Amino acid sequence: MNVNDSEVILSVLQDNGYALTEDIEEADVILANTCSIRDNAEQRIWGRIDQFKIQKKKRNVVIGIVGCMAERLKDELLKAVDIVAGPDSYRTLPQLLEAVRPDAPQINVLLSHEETYADISPVRMDKNGISAFISIMRGCNNVCSYCIVPYTRGRERSRDAHTIVREAQELWANGYKEVTLLGQNVDSYNWEGQDGNVNFAQLLEMVAAVNPGLRVRFSTSHPKDISDEVIHTMAKHDNICKHIHLPVQSGSSIMLDKMRRKYDREWYLERVEKIRSVMPDCGITTDVIAGFSGETEQDHQATLTLMEQVVFDSAFMFAYSERPGTLASKKYPDDIPYDVKTARLNEIIALQGRMSLKSNEKEIGKVMTVMVEGPSKKNKEELCGRASSNKMCVFPSRGEQPGDICQVIVDSVTSATLICRRLD
């Protein structure tokens, strides 16, 4: 999401005469787009600010912090940098840059109920020109008790469906082969147009119809909101990739309740079953938090047994990081000792390694339709690319280019990769 936001920022700035440089020594303005989701993300930015200040000693350069950390820390950051701009203020960056002086730092951290940057065409920063992000909504109306996002990104708003489709059409016309629709909770997408509402399943359908050759992905799904309609829409269209990122956070219903996720273990398992009954080969990935407030050994074991039951293809796994201002920070003490949290996280990571391998082993002998991303990192004679399920495949090259589609058969696997031979 931040990559896409940076592309919006670049678009706004280019329209005002700025240009991107790869060389920090050459920059007149340095902007860091930031994340507040865990404390370590913020700590890295403080380290970066120190590096930027070295540049400032050498020459006159404007330093700006944009994004969630700007929104969260506001004036506190203004003591350290020249510009502080929150996620809904990017249109005003040219004015902020115009007004900034050594003794007059500039700040805009107003959150909006309407801003979706719908009319701004992001300037794509990826190198290969085949896969692009499209933001379909901003903000989040959930109040997961551990999460800072609703405070830094504001209320949920859905972007005009027609501008989303137009963006996908333009990308296709410019040679892009894959789009990923982005939102904190895509299943609650709901745009109220003049001729009626568009929900997420309908939006998926509209984007899939742009061209049968355009691959459509999306992230992130919320277990409480993912509907049968979305699942059936995915199944209906070959070009909607069969992958769902479905963060579970915990396998313990007690923890899920305290996290305010609004589903329990049984509900989650039912959704997984439903997905697999409609799309047996659908990739399912997840996010897990270890060591949330009050988590007992029994709760932790419930997470492990859920992971064993579901066999996720892959997972992002985190130690709970208390975020100031969240409901959890006010109501629930961050009471799991560091070494217990770390030990549980390590157990979760080790188990997921085994589950990823197990999930990949099931693919041996199956045919995968892969979109080439480029040469494999390890062997230049080989290509790499993702299957519909989002699994990474490597296979011998016949000179195909990024964006080409190849049919391959899975020969052997590691926990991270399917090693394939050519079918064609």
DSSP, residue by residue, 327-363: HHHHHS---S-HHHHHHHHHHHHHHHHHHHHHHHHTT
Residue 84 found at the interface with ligand SF4 (CB under 6 A): no
DSSP, residue by residue, 119-136: T-------SSSSEEEEE-
CB-based contact 402:129 (threshold 8 Å): yes
Min dist CB 187 to ligand SF4, Å, is 10
Specify the stretch interacting with ligand SF4 by CB under 6 A; choose among 117-125, 137-145, 331-339, 356-364: 137-145
Q: Give the C-alpha separation, 243 to 315, whole Å.
A: 13
Which among ligand 5AD, ligand SF4, none contacts residue 89 (Cβ within 5 to 8 A by kind)?
A: none
Site for ligand SF4, residues 148 to 167, rule: CB under 6 A: 149-150
Min dist CB 148 to ligand SF4, Å, is 8
Min dist CB 184 to ligand SF4, Å, is 4
Q: Is the dihedral of CA 38, 43, 49, 52 positive or negative?
A: negative
CB-based contact 317:345 (threshold 8 Å): yes
The strand pair at 367-375 and 405-413 is best described as antiparallel
Which among ligand SF4, ligand 5AD, none contacts residue 142 (Cβ within 5 to 8 A by kind)?
A: ligand SF4
CB-based contact 374:349 (threshold 8 Å): no
Q: Which of 4, 36, 135, 142 binds ligand SF4 (CB under 6 A)?
A: 142
What is the chain's percent helix, strand, coil content, to nearest 5? Answer: 35, 25, 40
Residue 64 found at the interface with ligand SF4 (CB under 6 A): no
Could you give the residue ranges of the DSSP H alpha helices within 209-294? 228-236, 253-258, 265-278
Q: Give the C-alpha separation, 7 to 276, whole Å.
A: 35
Binding mask 272-301 for ligand 5AD (x = CB under 6 A): ---------------x-x------------
Specify the stretch interacting with ligand 5AD by CB under 6 A; choose among 43-51, 112-120, 314-322, 363-371: 314-322
Q: Which of 185, 199, 293, 376 binds ligand SF4 (CB under 6 A)?
A: 185
- Binding-residue total with ligand 5AD (CB under 6 A): 12
A 10 A CB-CB count for 308 gives 14
Residue 147 found at the interface with ligand 5AD (CB under 6 A): yes
Q: Which of 12, 130, 144, 288 binds ligand SF4 (CB under 6 A)?
A: 144
- For 23, the 3-state DSSP assignment is coil
In 3D, which of 65, 101, 58 has the Cα closest to residue 85?
A: 65
Q: Which is nearer to ligand 5AD, 38 or 166 (CB)?
A: 38
For ligand SF4, the binding residues (CB under 6 A) are 140, 142, 144, 147, 149-150, 184-185, 222
For ligand 5AD, the binding residues (CB under 6 A) are 37-38, 146-147, 247, 249, 287, 289, 318, 320-321, 323
